[in-house]
Structure 1
Amino acid sequence: MSSRLSYVWLATRRGLGAGAAVGLLRAFGSPEAVFAADRTSLTTARDCPLRKVQVDALCDKNTDEAERILAQCAGDGIQIITLGDSAYPDRLRAIENPPVVLYVRGKWPDFDVMPGIAVVGTREATPYGLQTAEHIGSALGRAGFITVSGMALGNDGAAHRGALRAGGLTVAVLAGGVDVCYPPQHRGLMGDILLSGAIVSEYPPGTEPRGEHYHARNRIISGLSVAAVIVEAPGYRSGALITARAALDQGRDVYAVPGALDAPQSAACNALIEKGEAALLRSPEALVRTYSGLLPARSGEHRAPHFVKTPQKTHAARQTPRKTEKPAPPPPSVMADSLSGDERRIVELVQQGVGTPEDLIERCGLPAPRVMSLITMLEMDGILRREKGRLVIGCQ
């Protein structure tokens, strides 16, 4: 029996749940060993107490459903990533109850290289919330982070759109199968996400979203991310607050966008800040500044930083600046002592007339996400600015 088939078999046992499945893997060592276990072994498994209904499900060794799922995924181009695969994000694997199987459509980013940041909020979003969520997604996308959300109406969708419009990566975690678009109004958004990012779920293709699935999927949204940003949340039963609680339980940073004192959509966000459970988010740029150190740094390795299954060399490694080019002396106000070596290199190239992010990536020898992050921070500091679509020195 293949490992992949046994993982899918284990994940489809009725009434088991991710927590019990992970406990079984720890107790028996592999999904194949769990499959081979008899009733006595399952009943007496150390540190993994099971209810009778769970033992009964595990004693059902029929693999027809798992084989059907594997065949459907192969036919529909849906990638299956198991808890034992190298493509499974280490950050998600570290949570208490990680999903045993992930089903993925699109291009799966390498979360171990590119950090994800969750941006979630209410479906009943205000214009302020929609604008803020899109602004955050856009800033994260430009800087090279993965914007993670749930593709729901309101703030979630705005965050995805912001990342897409900035040319960034975004991943949507669904409460149903990755081939089931919910809400149906987001069919176009789902298609846009699939062009450059990914749709992921722990539920097999064809699964319709259910109420309890949303609570479970929120732990994946936070589990994939280094931090969770709550844009708007009207009350403590909202999905955004469930994501915040999951992030806190997982030891992740939580931020909340403040709102007016009498704004019902901001009530829970303001309460999180008041109780010290979430940091007040003043601007998306603060997120970029805080987590920029997690972005890929300069390296001699030329593997693709974005996607797990598509290694390719970057243009940045193929060219170096021509020896005949001599940078003009930089103004003292620009080349402050606070600039890092990489920041200085970006500024020097802009002074030489290299005015687009694509050309900077080609010339500076740094990974693309790192370059985009540096550009964003230099723009925030006023050192660079955009003029007619090109980067120029801000103080000129």
Structure 2
Amino acid sequence: MSEIDPRAYWLWLQHALGAGSSKQNRILASYPSLQVFYQEGKESWLLEGYFTPKELHALETWSVEQAQALLDYCEKLGQTVITPDDAEYPDLLREIPNPPCALFVKGKLPDFSHRLSISIVGTRKATATGRGAARSIAFELAKKGVIIVSGGALGIDTAAHQGALQAGGTTVCVLGCGIDAEYLMVNASMRDAIALHGALVSEYPPQTQPISSNFPIRNRIIAGLSVGTLVVEAAARSGSLITADFALDQGRDVFAVPADIFSPVSQGVNNLIKSGAKPVSCAEDILEEYSELFPEKIYLDGGKTNDMIKDNGMIPKKQENVNYLQEPADISDDAKTVFRFLEKQPVHIEVLQEKTKMNTSRILAAITELELSGAVKTYSGGRYSLP
């Protein structure tokens, strides 16, 4: 037998299990490698007890040599195959419960480990207002170096990709079909541009057609590649809400653009906001959530930063521990102590614990006092700042 590329074992497994499976996690917990699992054969697979008859049939009848042939075919098409064994495989995807065994990629995956990534999704039947909001927010985020992730569909997805491209930024399109499938040919030129300035991504092999059942499974990858997901216009039952649910299940942030309560595409996003999603009206509402995670990329100073970077080619240094807000009257000593350590940039509660030498319950009680006085702004993930 000719030498087999290690990636072929992942392709073989993905073919057998199908998109969206999490059984590879159980396999890797029991076997030192997929190659060993493959070589053990059907008797060993039966003993595992969690494969369906359909999966067992596929494991047995589709060989790793056929997977190698698929790998060779992808290379001829100009598609790169990336598996969890590869350094290029995004760490964000490793964190989700059911990471894809293989990604088919056209273009170049950006560095998700060192850049903020936000997915922007929404209805295909978008209003002009919704498309404008998606395009504008994607444009401003991309200008800040944020990777924009979406699904390449008409409506909000298209507007998000266009906004990132117009900003000269990076965008990733996650497809629910093979990259070479004739899907929405009206967007073919946009997908070509995305491949030049980011990547087209799919867990479906070449020539896989865009059947409806693929897209909800695909949505977990859109959410998985993103630190946060923004929903712009979605009806009460929407694929975009599936993406938001995946984001929540994966421990990621969810944002929503408030919509007209009488619009048919408003109920989904407004329900998200009622359930705790952060309402946003501009890119800065999202960026302020991540200024601590990506301080060298994001600097918020009342809107002047872009001009300073453009004029000087540098990011200004942040002033540390400068508190210009007057201390509220009639607050407890604990609230006064916490207030003294708040800054314009969000501070995590663990930092406040270290600085104030107070436990969590005392800090939260103090934060509540400061909130009632309008002297603190809260963020997701237990972070607080001056308003």
Task: Bin the TM-score by the shorter chain.
Answer: 0.7 to 0.9
Distance 1:262 1:360, change over 3 A: same
1:307 aligned partner: none
SS at match of 1:294: coil
CA RMSD of aligned residues (A): 2.7
The letter for the 1-side match of 2:167 is A
SS at match of 2:82: strand
2:284 is the counterpart of 1:285: yes
1:252 aligned partner: 252
Unmatched runs of 5 consecutive residues or more in structure 2: 318-343, 345-387
8 Å Cα contact 2:15/2:58 also seen in 1: no
Mapped to 2, the partners of 1:134 and 1:116 lie a distance apart of: 16
8 Å Cα contact 1:177/1:207 also seen in 2: yes
2:76 is the counterpart of 1:123: no
SS at match of 1:205: coil
8 Å Cα contact 1:173/1:221 also seen in 2: yes
The letter for the 1-side match of 2:173 is A
The Cα of 1:78 is off from its aligned counterpart by 1.0
The Cα of 1:114 is off from its aligned counterpart by 1.3
Q: Which aligned runs of 4 or more in structure 1 are off by greater than 6 angstroms?
A: none
Counting only pairs closer than 5 Å after superposition, residues 181-192 of structure 1 correspond to structure 2 as 181-192=182-193
2:192 is the counterpart of 1:239: no
1:295 aligned partner: 294
1:394 aligned partner: none
1:359-382, Cα deviation, whole Å (9 max, x unpaired) = 716x999xxxxxxxxxxx9xxxxx
Q: In structure 1, which of residues 19, 44, 49 is the aligned counterpart of residue 47 of structure 2?
A: 44
2:245 is the counterpart of 1:261: no
The Cα of 1:16 is off from its aligned counterpart by 7.7
The Cα of 1:62 is off from its aligned counterpart by 2.2
Mapped to 1, the partners of 2:247 and 2:280 lie a distance apart of: 16
Distance 1:164 1:186, change over 3 A: same
Distance 1:37 1:204, change over 3 A: same
The Cα of 1:56 is off from its aligned counterpart by 2.5
Aligned residues: 313
What TM-score do you get using the length of structure 2 for normalisation?
0.75
8 Å Cα contact 2:20/2:99 also seen in 1: no
Mapped to 1, the partners of 2:80 and 2:274 lie a distance apart of: 42
1:156 aligned partner: 157
Q: In structure 1, which of residues 11, 18, 23 is the aligned counterpart of residue 21 of structure 2?
A: 18
8 Å Cα contact 1:15/1:53 also seen in 2: no
The Cα of 1:28 is off from its aligned counterpart by 1.7
8 Å Cα contact 1:35/1:61 also seen in 2: no
1:16-71, Cα deviation, whole Å (9 max, x unpaired) = 853123322332232112211222211222xx622222222222352343122111
1:133-184, Cα deviation, whole Å (9 max, x unpaired) = 0011101100111000001000000000001101111000000112225211
Distance 1:138 1:227, change over 3 A: same
Mapped to 1, the partners of 2:244 and 2:54 lie a distance apart of: 32
Distance 1:356 1:7, change over 3 A: same
The letter for the 2-side match of 1:4 is R
Counting only pairs closer than 5 Å after superposition, residues 1-396 of structure 1 correspond to structure 2 as 1-13=4-16, 18-45=21-48, 49-60=50-61, 62-236=63-237, 238-276=238-276, 278-295=277-294, 297=296, 356=310, 360=313
Mapped to 2, the partners of 1:101 and 1:198 lie a distance apart of: 15
Compare relative contact order (CA 8 Å, sep 6+) and give the higher one, 1 or 2.
Answer: 1
Mapped to 1, the partners of 2:204 and 2:255 lie a distance apart of: 28
SS at match of 2:292: helix
The letter for the 2-side match of 1:221 is I
8 Å Cα contact 1:181/1:190 also seen in 2: no
The Cα of 1:119 is off from its aligned counterpart by 0.2
8 Å Cα contact 1:273/1:279 also seen in 2: yes
What TM-score do you get using the length of structure 1 for normalisation?
0.73
8 Å Cα contact 2:259/2:266 also seen in 1: yes
Distance 1:15 1:229, change over 3 A: closer
Mapped to 2, the partners of 1:142 and 1:288 lie a distance apart of: 12
The letter for the 2-side match of 1:297 is E
1:332 aligned partner: none
The letter for the 2-side match of 1:110 is D
The Cα of 1:113 is off from its aligned counterpart by 1.3
SS at match of 1:265: coil
Mapped to 1, the partners of 2:122 and 2:107 lie a distance apart of: 24
8 Å Cα contact 1:114/1:296 also seen in 2: no
Identical counterparts, % of pairs:
39
8 Å Cα contact 1:228/1:253 also seen in 2: yes
1:77-133, Cα deviation, whole Å (9 max, x unpaired) = 211110121111111111000001011101210111112100000000001100000
The letter for the 2-side match of 1:293 is E
Distance 1:137 1:15, change over 3 A: closer
